[in-house]
Structure 1
Amino acid sequence: MISLKSKGCSVGVESRAAQGAHLCTWQQSNHPVSTLLAMDVAVQTVFTMILSVEFITGSLGNGFIILVNCLDWVRRRTLSPVDQILTALAVSRISLLWVIYQEWWESTIYPTSRMTVDYIRMKSLAWTVVSHFSFWLATSLSIFYFLKIANFSNSVFLYLNWRARKVVSGTLLLSLVPLMINIGLINIRIDVWMGESKENISDSSNLRNPTQTLRDLLLINTIFALIPFSVSLTAFLLLILSLWRHLKTMQGSGPGCRDASTTAHVKALQTVVAFLLLYAIFFLSFLIGVWSFAFLYTHTIMFFVQTTALVFPSVHSYVLILRDTKLRRASIARPSLHLDAKRLTVCLHF
């Protein structure tokens, strides 16, 4: 009896030792996985903080532009063409910020595999419309600066210069043509994807693996975003040509006249350059997103794409505030702005 008990105890000890060794081996084999998960959570937290800061600062900057121009409209009952463009641009930028920020949280909470056709169609159309007006309103501002500041003796330029407001309005109306084409291509691509999915699964309301479709939709929007970028780049190059010709013509004139005209050209060029640089960053984020969907899709890359894309509507508002005299003065005169805001609230109430 004693020998049997001793043998049983030894077997029990050996079995517990084997289980402990197996548990240690399992923990060591799963240690890299837990480390990667912790790193993903840390990266997501960092990008979420950056995105939130961009969203708040962008909303404040664009909201400030809207508030100042609305107060100016209450006082004078009129707005200049530049202020009208800036107000509409600020509204579109706030909408773009909300679309990107909402898409960020929805993509974080809901996995891609649970995206439905209606969801992708709605988000794609909202993104297309909001980004379209954000791009084209900024492009219209570049066109207006070019027509009002550039100095050419060409009859076509003089004709457009006299009708700068109509040119801007016509540009915005003509921009609706590529918008309709863009929306049509997006709907066609989503319908094709839905038709292909119906052949594979019975329930088409909840489709799987939309990565290919999302990449195509992003590529379509990227191609159409090139159009306003090209127009703004053309206006920038023509402004440089105008400045060069002006400096060459005014070499024998007085320095006062030359400085005044040169300052106007330089201010316009600085505004357009800042817009083009931020636009290029935004466009680069589009290209990275397309490449990610095509070759190496990771959550970290998509976090980087969305965070980079939000720089454009957030930072550009402060560039406009610094370059515009009225907005810059209003940012300094805070007490009077607060009183005017109360007056605007009373006027809107009555």
Structure 2
Amino acid sequence: MASPYIITPLVIQIIFLMTGSTGNIFILTVHFLDWMKTRKLSTVDLIVNCIVIINLFLQGTIAFNQICALLFLEIYIQVQVVNSLLVILTSLALSSLWCSTCLCFYYFVKIVSFKWAWFHKIKAKLPVMVPWLLVFSCTISWAFGLAAYWDINIDNPLLTANATRNASYVHLHYKSRCDCIFQIYMLVASIPFSIIFITAGAIIFSLCNHMQKIKKNNEGSKNSKLSSHLKATKTVTSLLIAYFIFYGMINILYSESKDGQALTFIFCVLMASAFPTENAIILINGNRKLLMMVKHILCIKQTSINAEVTVTTY
């Protein structure tokens, strides 16, 4: 019988999976129904849908990985299975980060104002650029992720097939043939996060400047435009914090791949598996249409949300 040491994280991950899947499927459903009415999909909805689909698979794969480690250990510790799961998890995690970069870049171009001519050209061509940016994001993520299948070996597994029945937890040590694959993954993850940090920081700075101008021109803090900018700032800040935690957990997992402790590994996996749930909640709360639909489903009385412009409406 498995100990609470492994059961508790598994239960937590199942809770994350259920809540995250509900939120992400809700976003896809609302966007699909909207597309059925208009036969059009906005650029921001395209980016959000791509992130949502990736996060659904990411969260499902993390839960599947933990279930296999608990219930099907004899199969799980095989090199082909471990490498395949590592490839899928790495590719999906990197895809989520890179596609999130597209979202922050989109907000950056739409919200931040520059007088440069080339910047206005980018803004005009953004609807054409975004699909290609998403394709590039997924391609580069899977290209680097697939390299792990041929490069990674299990270095002295802690469990053997004969010992799995009495085991409470399996913590495998990974060894890279080139001795650099995890450093490469950390670099590939650092590039999109750096872009996210810069663009999100610029967005927050720009929105704060707008709020200062609004306060000077309109006295009182109840101005609707000021409220909408404050909402947008909170949404972007929340996304930045969520990306920072997710990026940090990925880097710790990669750096702890050889000598990491089991508790550290479990904690980082749990924090990473919470990201799709957190991301869905932030996206719903930051989108007027999605938030109105949630309030309608929950029979919550609508307030001034109908006049509010949130960050995802830019």
TM-score (norm 2): 0.76
1:49-68 aligned within 5 A: 49-68=11-30
Residue-by-residue CA offset, 1:63-95 (whole Å, 9 max, x unaligned): 110111111111222222222222222211111
* Structure 1 gap ranges (5+): 1-37, 198-208, 337-350
Distance 1:114 1:83, change over 3 A: closer
Matched to 1:304, the amino acid is F
* C-alpha distance in 2 between matches for 1:163 and 1:267: 27
Residue-by-residue CA offset, 1:166-211 (whole Å, 9 max, x unaligned): 3323422433563354135424413xx49x99xxxxxxxxxxx961
Deviation at 1:328, TM superposition (A): 0.5
* C-alpha distance in 1 between matches for 2:273 and 2:129: 29
* Structure 2 gap ranges (5+): 157-170, 300-314
Distance 1:283 1:74, change over 3 A: same
| Aligned position for 1:346 | none
Higher helix content, 1 or 2: 1
* C-alpha distance in 1 between matches for 2:217 and 2:276: 41
Is the 2:105–2:199 Cα contact (8 Å) retained in structure 1? yes
Distance 1:212 1:90, change over 3 A: closer
Q: Does 2:191 correspond to 1:227?
A: yes
* C-alpha distance in 1 between matches for 2:45 and 2:202: 23
Q: Does 2:115 correspond to 1:162?
A: no
Residue-by-residue CA offset, 1:291-325 (whole Å, 9 max, x unaligned): 54333432x33322221111111111011111100
SS in 2 for 1:152: coil
Q: Does 2:244 correspond to 1:308?
A: no
SS in 2 for 1:295: coil
Structure showing greater radius of gyration is: 1
Residue-by-residue CA offset, 1:99-126 (whole Å, 9 max, x unaligned): 1000111122344896333223321232
Is the 2:95–2:138 Cα contact (8 Å) retained in structure 1? no
| Aligned position for 1:98 | 60
Is the 1:149–1:264 Cα contact (8 Å) retained in structure 2? no
Distance 1:180 1:291, change over 3 A: closer
Is the 1:82–1:141 Cα contact (8 Å) retained in structure 2? yes
Is the 2:43–2:130 Cα contact (8 Å) retained in structure 1? no
SS in 2 for 1:310: helix
| Aligned position for 1:270 | 234
Is the 1:211–1:293 Cα contact (8 Å) retained in structure 2? yes
Deviation at 1:287, TM superposition (A): 3.4
Match of 1:236 among 179, 200, 206: 200
Q: Does 2:304 correspond to 1:331?
A: no
How many residues of Structure 1 are paired with residues of Structure 2 in the alignment? 282
